[in-house]
């Protein structure tokens, strides 16, 4: 079996709604973090350096208050030094400095302070740069991998999921992961000084330190409740703001309809409701935030009072120095701060968990077109004979689209497909480009089973022009050549001339070098169609498949298109979903599709004579041909 799926095998049931659903990752998902490490691995060296630097910087940060309290106040001013107080050798260093440079000890302390401050600044900067550098690079790689994965998902995937939702995974969700990783980095930078400060405090006075630590559970509890209530409010604020913006955006996009429907007052009322809703949540959030805002600094200030009170009794019994009391007041902030930061990071953490899940869900989405194990090698030039043998197909097993469709197109033949909306015309041509998986032995190209040809090879031979042609960012020339080195500039111009596109291209200020925006807003619909023709002609496929556009095109442009189409199909097997009488009449044969089955097939005259569906359609399109004839 050369292909993964045979006729009998049912396609995997997929819940596409899951892809669009909001995943709310409320739990800490360790496996997700582990998976994320895969993208950070290439930068593990830099991350290691960053970690070492943060430890160093944190230690320096703790040294600065020690210079003020233990070195200057205790040692230099008070002249007392307690040997069991960890001063990181600063007193000795200071003495050595003042002796060897012959400076007063106070000046030496100042020099020490300044030096440490400057080293801290550089080390801190180096730490942050190595950290964000690695994180940015890792996530850049992740984003590219994600894009690569999405770029190769089949049409069946994009039929079912909203492009906007897929896009936010590439942008916002990866963004949230950045916040997460940077947040984790920040936490390390908070906890190291915490532990160093804690060790120093414990060494100076254990009971006081333990007493201060007792405030932590209180702080943690308040922070927890604060974060919990704001998490809900934040979500509401975000949601109402986004509704607010959507309402405005839509109202502006459809303003003309709003005005001709006289709905301004009604819409303003609706907007007022949303605006009021948003303000109500914002106010609730403001209340909670302001209540919490001054809480932890107040707690730290109260702690200062307690330290002084306790410290006074200790200084009285000479078990503590004044400098040590001051050191406690300086360190108490470092003790409380990590809890506050941890609180700040939880919201980001939870949001990032959900984002991570969404990203990995997309990366794990393994829907694809099955490729043959041993793809058939195609000759340099195919004849272009296409055979449909009892083709049955359904997107959803409950709703068959094509039922036993059989027909053959001879090499070089031009076949027009007509039929009512929903008859399966588009599906037929989509299968020919293998945009969907179907069973083996149903469609043959020059006698080769289509499923035995790799899609990449196939699509180079089958040129498909869809109704919704995509314009790539770049110049007109880029859009015709599409990176194919065989399409030289001369060839591109030739192709454009052949399909009547040269006139309008040459009229553009920069000719073939004119930049096009994606979606091609700077071209009219007719011009876009002609450009799409030039593109497919330049790639010179053996088989042309075209879904004719039925857009707002005036007769003059339509004539240009018809004329171009005639040249495009010359000497090429062509299958066209036709909407215009002209196209149909020029076809060698017409296939009438009705409810997924071949209703009629034959040339224009034969079908008219048969008085079937084709004759009816034709009559509708040009009911009073005779009357028109008469008046001429």
Partner 1 sequence: MRPQNTDERLPTKSMLAALWQLKQFVLPYKAGLFTGIGAFGIARLFEVMVPVLTAVAINKMASDDFEITLQVFGIILAVLARYCVVTFARFNVRKVALKVSYDLRQQLFEKLQQQGSEFFGQYSIGDMMTRAVADISLIQRLISMGTILVIILVYAAIVGFGFMLYYSPMLTLLLLPPMPIIFFYAQHSSKAMGEASEKVQERLSDLGTHTQENLSGIRTIQAMVQEDNEIDRFSETNQAYADVFYEQGRITSAMASWMPSLAAVCSLTILSYGGYQVLQGTLPIGDFVAFFMLVGMVVQPFRVAGFIINLFQRAAVASRRLFEVFDRPPEINDDPSGNTPTTISGNLRIKNLSYTYPGAAIPALHDISFKLQRGETVTIMGRVGSGKTTLLKQIVRLIDPKPEAVWIDGHPVKDYPLSQLRAQVAMVPQDPFLFAEPLKDNLTYDEPNRMLEKIWEAATSADLKNTIDGFPDKLDTLIGERGVTLSGGQKQRATLARGLIRNAPLLILDDCFSAVDTETEDHILSELKRLRREQTTLLVSHRVSTARHADRIIIIDEGTILETGSHEQLIAKHGYYAELERVQREGAEEDDLERLRLNIQ
**H/E run at residue 628:** helix 625-631
319 binds partner 1 (CB under 8 A): no
Site for partner 1 in 90-109 (CB under 8 A): 106-107, 109
Using only C-alpha atoms, the chain has a radius of gyration, in whole angstroms, of 37
Q: Select 29 or 95, whichever has its Cβ closest to partner 1.
A: 95
420 binds partner 1 (CB under 8 A): yes
Stretch that binds partner 1, among 225-233, 270-278, 355-363, 372-380 (CB under 8 A): 270-278
Q: What share of the chain is helix, strand, coil (3-state, %, to 5)?
A: 65, 10, 25
Q: Select 507 or 620, whichever has its Cβ closest to partner 1.
A: 620
361 binds partner 1 (CB under 8 A): no
DSSP classification of residue 14: -
Site for partner 1 in 3-42 (CB under 8 A): 20
Least distance (Å) from partner 1 to the CB of residue 264?
5
Q: Select 18 or 257, whichever has its Cβ closest to partner 1.
A: 257
CA distances to 191, 199, 207, 302 from 204, in Å: 20, 9, 9, 20
CA distances to 142, 162, 502 from 472, in Å: 24, 21, 18
Site for partner 1 in 287-316 (CB under 8 A): 287, 290-291, 293-295, 298, 301-302, 304-306, 308-309, 311-313, 315-316
Instruction: Single out the residue of 214, 555, 158 nearest to residue 368, CA to CA.
Output: 158
- In the list 75, 128, 385, 589, the residue contacting partner 1 (rule: CB under 8 A) is 128
329 binds partner 1 (CB under 8 A): yes
Distance in angstroms (rounded) separating the CA atoms of residues 504 and 520: 14
- In the list 26, 28, 77, 101, the residue contacting partner 1 (rule: CB under 8 A) is 77
Binding track over 496-525 against partner 1, x by CB under 8 A: ----------------------xx----x-
Least distance (Å) from partner 1 to the CB of residue 146?
10
CB-CB contact of 176 with 369 (8 Å): no
Q: Select 464 or 496, whichever has its Cβ closest to partner 1.
A: 464
Q: Select 36 or 73, whichever has its Cβ closest to partner 1.
A: 73
What are the two backbone dihedrals, phi and then psi, of residue 204, each rounded to the nearest 5 degrees?
-75, -55
Q: Select 45 or 420, whichever has its Cβ closest to partner 1.
A: 420
Q: Select 45 or 254, whichever has its Cβ closest to partner 1.
A: 254
User: What is the total count of residues that contact partner 1 (CB under 8 A)?
Assistant: 159
**Vertex 253, ends 155 and 261: CA angle to 5°?**
120
Q: Select 92 or 563, whichever has its Cβ closest to partner 1.
A: 563
- Cα Dmax for the chain: 125
- In the list 15, 366, 468, 626, the residue contacting partner 1 (rule: CB under 8 A) is 468
- Report the Cα–Cα distance between both ends of the chain, in Å, rounded: 64
Instruction: Single out the residue of 81, 3, 96, 1 nearest to residue 370, CA to CA.
Output: 3
Least distance (Å) from partner 1 to the CB of residue 260?
5
Site for partner 1 in 538-597 (CB under 8 A): 539, 550-560, 562-563, 579, 581-582, 585-586
Q: Select 1 or 265, whichever has its Cβ closest to partner 1.
A: 265
Q: Select 227 or 604, whichever has its Cβ closest to partner 1.
A: 604
- In the list 144, 210, 221, 610, the residue contacting partner 1 (rule: CB under 8 A) is 144
Site for partner 1 in 181-240 (CB under 8 A): none
3-state secondary structure of 407: strand
Distance in angstroms (rounded) separating the CA atoms of residues 37 and 43: 10
- In the list 9, 52, 115, 122, the residue contacting partner 1 (rule: CB under 8 A) is 122
CB under 8 Å to 590, separation ≥6 — which residues?
A: 415, 416, 417, 418, 578, 584, 600, 601, 602, 603, 604, 607, 614
Pairing of the two strands 386-396 and 515-516: unpaired
83 binds partner 1 (CB under 8 A): no
Q: What is the DSSP string of 263-276?
A: -HHHHHHHHHHHHH
What are the two backbone dihedrals, phi and then psi, of residue 631, each rounded to the nearest 5 degrees?
-75, -10
Buried b (16+ CB within 10 A) or exposed e, 295-316: bbeebbeebbeebeebbeebee
Least distance (Å) from partner 1 to the CB of residue 8?
27
Binding track over 157-176 against partner 1, x by CB under 8 A: -x---xxxxxx--xx---x-
Least distance (Å) from partner 1 to the CB of residue 304?
6
């Amino acid at each position: 079996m050369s292909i993964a799926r045979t006729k009998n095998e049912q396609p995997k049931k997929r819940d596409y709604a899951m892809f669009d659903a909001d995943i709310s990752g409320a739990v800490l998902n360790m496996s997700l973090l582990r998976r994320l490490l895969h993208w950070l691995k290439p930068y593990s060296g830099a991350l290691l350096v960053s970690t070492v630097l943060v430890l160093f910087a944190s230690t320096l940060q703790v040294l600065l208050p020690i210079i003020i309290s233990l070195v200057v106040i205790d040692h230099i001013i008070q002249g007392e030094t307690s040997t069991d107080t960890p001063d990181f050798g600063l007193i000795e260093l200071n003495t050595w400095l003042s002796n060897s440079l012959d400076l007063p000890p106070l000046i030496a302390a100042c020099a020490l302070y300044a030096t440490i401050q400057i080293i801290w600044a550089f080390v801190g900067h180096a730490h942050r740069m190595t950290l964000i550098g690695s994180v940015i690079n890792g996530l850049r790689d992740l984003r590219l991998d994600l894009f690569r994965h999405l770029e190769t998902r089949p049409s069946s995937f994009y039929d079912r999921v909203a492009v906007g939702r897929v896009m936010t995974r590439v942008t916002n969700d990866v963004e949230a992961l950045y916040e997460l990783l940077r947040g984790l980095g920040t936490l390390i930078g908070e906890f190291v000084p915490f532990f160093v400060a804690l060790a120093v405090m414990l060494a100076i006075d254990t009971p006081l330190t333990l007493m201060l630590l007792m405030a932590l559970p209180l702080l943690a509890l308040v922070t927890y409740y604060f974060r919990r209530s704001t998490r809900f409010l934040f979500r509401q604020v975000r949601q109402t703001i986004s509704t607010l913006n959507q309402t405005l955006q839509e109202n502006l996009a459809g303003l003309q309809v709003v005005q001709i429907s006289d709905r301004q007052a009604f819409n303003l009322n609706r907007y007022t409701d949303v605006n009021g809703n948003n303000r109500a949540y914002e106010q609730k959030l403001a209340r909670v935030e302001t209540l919490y805002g001054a809480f932890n600094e107040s707690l730290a200030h109260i702690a200062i009072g307690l330290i002084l009170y306790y410290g006074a009794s200790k200084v009285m019994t000479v078990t503590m120095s004044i400098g040590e009391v001051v050191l406690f007041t300086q360190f108490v902030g470092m003790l409380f701060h990590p809890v506050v930061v941890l609180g700040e990071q939880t919201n980001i953490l939870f949001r990032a968990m959900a984002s991570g899940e969404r990203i990995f869900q997309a990366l794990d989405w393994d829907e694809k077109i099955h490729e043959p194990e041993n793809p058939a090698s195609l000759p340099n030039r195919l004849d272009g004979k296409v055979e449909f043998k009892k083709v049955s197909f359904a997107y959803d097993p409950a709703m068959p689209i094509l039922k036993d469709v059989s027909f053959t197109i001879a090499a070089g033949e031009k076949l027009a497909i007509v039929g009512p909306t929903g008859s399966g015309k588009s599906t037929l041509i989509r299968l020919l480009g293998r945009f969907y998986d179907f069973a083996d032995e149903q469609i043959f190209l020059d006698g080769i089973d289509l499923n035995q040809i790799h899609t990449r090879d196939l699509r180079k031979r089958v040129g498909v022009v869809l109704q919704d042609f995509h314009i790539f960012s770049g110049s007109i020339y880029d859009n015709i050549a599409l990176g194919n080195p065989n399409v030289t500039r001369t060839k591109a111009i030739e192709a454009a001339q052949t399909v009547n596109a040269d006139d309008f291209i040459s009229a553009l200020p920069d000719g073939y070098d004119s930049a096009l925006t994606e979606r091609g807003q700077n071209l009219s619909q007719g011009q876009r169609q002609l450009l799409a023709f030039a593109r497919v002609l330049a790639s010179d496929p053996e088989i042309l498949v075209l879904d004719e556009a039925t857009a707002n095109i005036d007769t003059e442009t339509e004539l240009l298109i018809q004329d171009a189409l005639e040249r495009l199909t010359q000497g090429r097997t062509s299958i066209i979903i036709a909407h215009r009488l002209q196209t149909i009449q020029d076809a060698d044969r017409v296939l009438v599709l009705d409810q997924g089955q071949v209703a009629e097939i034959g040339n224009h005259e034969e079908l008219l004579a048969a008085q079937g569906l084709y004759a009816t359609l034709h009559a509708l399109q040009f009911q009073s041909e005779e009357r028109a004839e008469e008046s001429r």
